[in-house]
Chain A
Amino acid sequence: ETGVTQTPRHLVMGMTNKKSLKCEQHLGHNAMYWYKQSAKKPLELMFVYSLEERVENNSVPSRFSPECPNSSHLFLHLHTLQPEDSALYLCASSQASGNYNEQFFGPGTRLTVL
């Protein structure tokens, strides 16, 4: 399989559940990203793993926890989410070196929090 894959594609969870989103890239990249996409809002960068360094948006609540075990895999662990966390969660990857490498996106996980 090529490109960036994400599982599951759809997820419905209650506020007390714990779940994880998975992303895998098959492009040989060494940087991976989590974005949150809400309707009519700019894409919100949540976390970046680049050359084993983690960069995070300080406005992201602690109920979102990323994990990057290697350069090809990225997880987003979810616990005690709120209904306003319902959104499309996109994973992306790129080469970390160089100044202007475009990012390649997965299809996203549509998350609904009840």
Chain B
Amino acid sequence: AQSVAQPEDQVNVAEGNPLTVKCTYSVSGNPYLFWYVQYPNRGLQFLLKYITGDNLVKGSYGFEAEFNKSQTSFHLKKPSALVSDSALYFCAVRDASSSGSARQLTFGSGTQLTVLP
């Protein structure tokens, strides 16, 4: 079974400060990891993914995420937050060894990021 946890429902950060949105996962094999963002009244939008290779993944809008296998984490980061980054962020995982009907993403419950001006 695969699962993902986003331990914070809400993260507040001041504009210009660095931001971190946390994600931990559990899979039996190697993970494929994803971050999505959802703006109000919109669907989820892909930000970045980790498949293999460099533990630091760079994505859209200046976001990056660091894969840490020993801590089973994939935290989303940005060096300098913008007010326009305020949105709902979802982490998702898939077990690389899964097949058939099990090859589906499992999403976390989401973290609401608010960047204060």
- Beta-carbon contact of B107 and A43 below 8 Å: yes
C-alpha spacing A6/B42, complex, angstroms? 11
Contact residue among B94, B96, B107 (Cβ-Cβ distance under 8 Å from A42): B107
Known A-B contacts A42-B109, A100-B94; the reply to A90 vs B104 at CB < 8 A is no
Chain B count of residues within 8 A CB distance of the other chain: 25
CA distance A6 to B103 in the complex (A): 24
Find A100's partner among B4, B51, B107, B109 (CB 8 Å cutoff).
Answer: B51
> How many angstroms from the CA of A108 to the CA of B38 in the assembled complex?
11
- Is A103 in the interface zone, CB < 8 Å from B? yes
* Residues of chain A contacted by B109 (CB below 8 angstroms): 40-42
Select one of A4, A40, A45 contacting B104, CB under 8 A.
A45
Given contacts A4-B43, A105-B45, A106-B43, 14 further A-B contacts (CB under 8 A): A6-B43, A40-B110, A42-B107, A42-B108, A42-B109, A55-B104, A92-B44, A99-B32, A99-B51, A99-B103, A100-B94, A103-B44, A103-B46, A104-B46
List chain B positions with a Cβ less than 8 A from chain A: 4, 9, 32, 34, 36, 41-46, 49, 51, 90, 94, 96, 101, 103-110
A-B contact pairs, 14 of them (CB 8 A): A6-B43, A41-B109, A42-B4, A43-B90, A45-B104, A45-B105, A48-B104, A90-B44, A99-B32, A100-B94, A103-B44, A103-B46, A105-B36, A106-B43
